[in-house]
């Protein structure tokens, strides 16, 4: 068993790494420089974990699957997605990326995790106490999930027709235009001191330091990593309200326990 994940700000990384720790699986971020085709071909079970954006798989994960689609053939597949509230069919939608590829879907689950959109008034950042509650519930669900998988229980969260239609009409039908806009809607304020951190951490290599500023290359995947880690709070993506507080990630919170 191997686990492959993408995580913008740490939520999906937490789920992927904790699951792998409990189950004895080897865990990889899709950002690692490894031969995924070789690793996936040798595995019997592939676990994928990713954040769900508007009931859509992130663009960076979609590109990864397209590149490695053949390596999924004939595998047992476990799908985890992290979400703030409700994605409808956030796990099921991953299977659309594997159309025509024979896979045995053994388990699919959604995990509610803290909000990382740190400058949107409708979704304020959770305080430490609320993040602890998210962490506790995620840990409980993870352990139940691992027990079920070990016992051979097959569960497919989000695969029923109601979830599919809710994911499509409530979120997915509207998200495509927002995702396209976000690709080229990174803004750098005058507070930027060109430290280069955003350039280093961007998973899409979307940012570049010039003589005058930081410029974008129009391929943002909307992960919000740069927004939450910019030391000057000088970056916004799609939502351009000032950044007052930043999401530090459930990884750092869990290490304090």
Tell me the pLDDT tens digit for each residue of 51-79. Answer: 999 899 999 999 999 999 999 999 999 99
Output the pLDDT for position 257.
47
Per-residue pLDDT band for 216 (boundaries 50, 70, 90) equals: very high
Instruction: Answer whether 168's CB lies under 8 Å from 176's CB.
Output: no
- Mean pLDDT is lowest, of 4-8, 141-145, 149-153, 170-174, for 170-174
Measured torsion, CA atoms of residues 61, 67, 71, 75, in degrees rounded to the nearest 10: 30
**How many Å separate Cα 173 from the centre of its chain?**
19
- Give the pLDDT of residue 173: 86
Mean pLDDT of 180-199: 95
d(CA 89, CA 167): 5
The angle that helices 11-23 and 128-150 make with each other, rounded to 10 degrees, is: 40
- The model carries a pTM of 0.94
If pLDDT is split at 50, 70 and 90, which confidence band does 42 have? very high
Nearest-angstrom CA–CA distance, 225 and 32: 17
Asked whether the predicted pLDDT for residue 208 surpasses 70, the reply is yes
Taking the CA of residue 252 as centre, how many other CA atoms within 13 Å lie in the half-sphere pointing to its CB?
7
pLDDT band at 101 (very low <50, low <70, confident <90, very high): very high
So what's the pLDDT on residue 254?
Answer: 52
pLDDT number for residue 256: 47
Residue 84 has pLDDT above 70, yes or no: yes
pLDDT of residue 255: 52
Q: What is the pLDDT of residue 171?
A: 86
- Decide if pLDDT at 87 tops 50: yes
Question: What per-residue confidence (pLDDT) applies to 253?
Answer: 53
| Residue 109: pLDDT band with limits 50, 70, 90 | very high
In the chain, what percentage of residues exceed pLDDT 90? Answer: 87
Position with higher pLDDT, 87 vs 11: 11
Residue 116 binned pLDDT confidence (cut-offs 50, 70, 90)? very high
Residues 5-26: what's their mean pLDDT?
97
Confidence at residue 170, expressed as pLDDT on a 0 to 100 scale: 81
Number of H helices, E strands in the chain: 9, 10
């Amino acid at each position: 068993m191997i686990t492959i994940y993408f995580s913008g700000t740490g939520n999906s990384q937490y789920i992927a790494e904790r699951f792998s720790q409990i189950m004895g699986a080897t865990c990889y971020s899709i950002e690692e420089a490894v031969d995924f085709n070789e690793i996936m071909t040798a595995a019997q079970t592939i676990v994928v974990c990713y954040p769900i954006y508007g009931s859509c798989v992130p663009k960076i994960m979609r590109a990864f699957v397209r590149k490695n689609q053949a390596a999924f053939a004939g595998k047992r597949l476990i799908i985890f997605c992290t979400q703030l509230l409700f994605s409808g069919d956030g796990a099921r939608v991953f299977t659309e990326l594997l159309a025509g590829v024979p896979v045995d879907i053994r388990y699919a689950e959604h995990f509610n995790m803290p909000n990382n959109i740190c400058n949107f008034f409708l979704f304020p950042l959770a305080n430490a106490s609320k993040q602890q509650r998210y962490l506790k519930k995620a840990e409980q669900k993870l352990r139940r999930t691992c027990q079920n998988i070990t016992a051979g229980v097959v569960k497919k969260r989000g695969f029923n027709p109601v979830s599919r239609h809710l994911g499509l009409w409530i979120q997915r039908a509207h998200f495509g235009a927002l995702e396209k806009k976000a690709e080229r809607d990174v803004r750098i304020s005058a507070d930027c001191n060109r430290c280069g951190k955003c350039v280093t951490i961007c998973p899409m290599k979307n940012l570049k330091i010039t003589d005058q500023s930081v410029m974008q290359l129009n391929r943002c995947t909307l992960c919000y990593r740069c927004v939450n880690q910019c030391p000057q709070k000088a970056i916004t993506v799609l939502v351009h309200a000032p950044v007052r507080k930043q999401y530090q990630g459930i990884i750092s919170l869990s290490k304090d326990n």
